[in-house]
Amino acid sequence: VNDWVNAKEAKFQISVKVPLTFKPMLTDNDVIYVGFTLKSFWQVYNDEVSAPFRETNYQPEIFYQTPLPWRPWDGNVFFNLGMEHESNGRTQYLSRSWNRAYVKFAYLQPNWALSLRPWYRLPEDAKPDDGDPSTPPAADGDDNPDIEDFLGHHELQGVYKFGSIAVAATTRHNFATGKGSAELGLSFPLYGKLKGYLQYFNGYGESLIDYNESIERIGIGILVTEWY
């Protein structure tokens, strides 16, 4: 398969968030949510090997969200506390997964928002080593013990809206290794709830299978939000 075919693929992502609570628990307007994100990379141009899905990542999570009484510059501040699992559902050498506990602080103004989400990776036992390199690794144990070296310990996000056009930026970083990623997105209206979307990604961790490979990607596509 030539390099052009390998380098071009379709990417799609579906994210849903559902509230589990409908009455205040600890503060006014606090909520527990469950969420799920599916992200797939499809080698749609690769007819020589039947256009396979190269990678699919699954990310379920549960989190508590509450507004804070602090309102600097008349903005709103929110606090989240959550846990999430992320994996690619594969086995042996291709298996990737990790579990994180996180907190998130978000500051919202009418036309822009900023959030910081540091996390703690929940430790896993090392894979047992039978000393035979010809045998596949055991199913239990840590599939990717160095994943934080590349994906970092926190995520910083910002969004700014110019009328119906929105610009978003996301960065992750590990200060010890100097590795991480940067992603820029631009959305603009097309029709109804359909929006056009431009995206640029540079760094590590866009997909779990390539978490330790630096990737630069430019994409154009369709964005659907608030479909209800």
8 alpha carbon, distance to own chain's centre: 21
Q: Please tell me which residue in 15, 40, 85, 181 is annotated as part of the active site.
A: 85
Catalytic-residue membership of 50 = no
CB 67 within 8 A of CB 107: no
Per DSSP, the chain holds a count of helices (H) and strands (E) of: 2, 11
Structure tokens at 47: 């007819």
Among the listed residues 15, 40, 50, 87, the single catalytic one is 87
For 47, phi then psi, to 5°, come to: -70, -20
Query: What share of residues in the chain are helix, strand, coil (percent, to 5)?
Result: 10, 55, 35
What stretches of the chain show up as alpha helix (H) in DSSP?
A: 3-7, 147-151
Asked about 207 being catalytic, the answer comes back as: no
Q: Specify whether the CB–CB gap between 53 and 25 falls below 8 A.
A: no
Residues acting as catalytic residues: 85, 87
